[in-house]
């Protein structure tokens, strides 16, 4: 932690600019904010007339000896060491050279976030919370939709209620409409790109395909 803090403190204070609020005023329901130009803490100290000359000299000498790329490489290395310790790894990776770090920057964007302590958590797939109320009627509904794809969810539900009185209440209309949206998306994809593969599609991709092919269906 001490090694990580030492590198991070120097990088933030000398090479990481930030905005500082200069003024805030309210006019009715509107709040107007004005900020100073972005600057590092070191630049703000040097620009302040109250900073003593010996402090200015020490800051300038320290700044002249620092390399931001080397500091960033040290930060990443120490983060990896902490991640290995947190994961119970007995072998800690050896620190690479600066050339290795620079070479990795060219392709680091392909892996997204490069910090080892910020790994993405796996997203758990949401399962159905109750039995599908239209499971037994799905083959018939799909056949009706294939024959007349312009039918609405209300029309399909009404037809289903006529075929099976008392089994499918009106509260299933929203479920029917969601099911119909998925089928229309699949039909739109077939019209534009050909038949769908056997892989299950996510809701986001199905909705995107539906938006793309809605004009074809309607």
Give the pLDDT score at 98.
Answer: 62
pTM of the model: 0.41
Give the pLDDT score at 59.
Answer: 92
From residue 132, alpha-carbon distances to 22, 49, 78, 91 in Å are 58, 72, 51, 50
Give the pLDDT score at 15.
Answer: 92
CA distance 40 to 100: 28
Q: What parts of the chain have a pLDDT lower than 50?
A: 90-93, 196, 198-218
Q: Which long-range contacts (CB under 8 A, 24 or more apart) does 63-72 make?
A: 63/14, 66/10, 66/14, 66/15, 68/11, 68/14, 68/15, 69/98, 69/101, 69/102, 70/98, 71/7, 71/10, 71/11, 71/15, 72/11, 72/101
Give the pLDDT score at 63.
Answer: 92
Q: Across the strands, what pairs with 24? A: 33
Is 145 exposed, middle or buried (CB count within 10 Å of its CB: 0-12, 13-18, 19+)? Answer: middle
Give the pLDDT score at 31.
Answer: 92
Q: What is the dihedral of CA 14, 15, 19, 20, to 10 degrees?
A: 0
Structure tokens at 6: 């030492």
Give the pLDDT score at 208.
Answer: 42
Is 60 exposed, middle or buried (CB count within 10 Å of its CB: 0-12, 13-18, 19+)? Answer: exposed
Which residues have a Cβ under 8 Å from the Cβ of 147 and sit 6 or more positions away?
none
Encode pLDDT of 166-197 as tens digits.
Answer: 888 999 999 899 989 998 888 888 887 765 45
Give the pLDDT score at 124.
Answer: 76
| Segments making up each domain of the chain, as ranges | 2-89, 138-217
Give the pLDDT score at 102.
Answer: 64
Give the pLDDT score at 150.
Answer: 87
């Amino acid at each position: 932690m001490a090694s990580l803090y030492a590198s991070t403190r120097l990088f933030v204070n000398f090479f990481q600019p930030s905005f500082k609020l200069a003024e805030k005023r309210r006019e009715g329901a509107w709040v107007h904010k004005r900020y100073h130009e972005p600057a590092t803490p070191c630049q703000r100290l040097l620009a302040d007339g109250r900073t003593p000359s010996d402090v200015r000299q020490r800051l300038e000498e320290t700044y002249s000896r620092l390399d931001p790329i080397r500091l960033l490489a040290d930060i990443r290395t120490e983060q990896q060491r902490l991640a290995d310790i947190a994961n119970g790894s007995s072998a800690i990776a050896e620190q690479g050279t600066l050339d290795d770090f620079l070479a990795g920057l060219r392709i680091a964007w392909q892996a997204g976030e490069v910090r080892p302590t910020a790994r993405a958590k796996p997203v758990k797939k949401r399962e159905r919370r109750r039995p599908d109320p239209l499971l037994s009627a799905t083959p018939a509904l799909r056949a009706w939709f294939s024959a007349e794809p312009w039918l609405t969810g209300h029309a399909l539900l009404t037809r289903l209620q006529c075929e099976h009185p008392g089994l499918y209440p009106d509260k299933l209309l929203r479920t029917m409409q969601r099911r119909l949206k998925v089928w229309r998306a699949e039909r739109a994809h077939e019209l534009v790109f050909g038949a769908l593969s056997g892989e299950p599609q996510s809701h986001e991709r199905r909705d995107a395909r539906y938006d793309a092919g809605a004009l074809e269906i309607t």
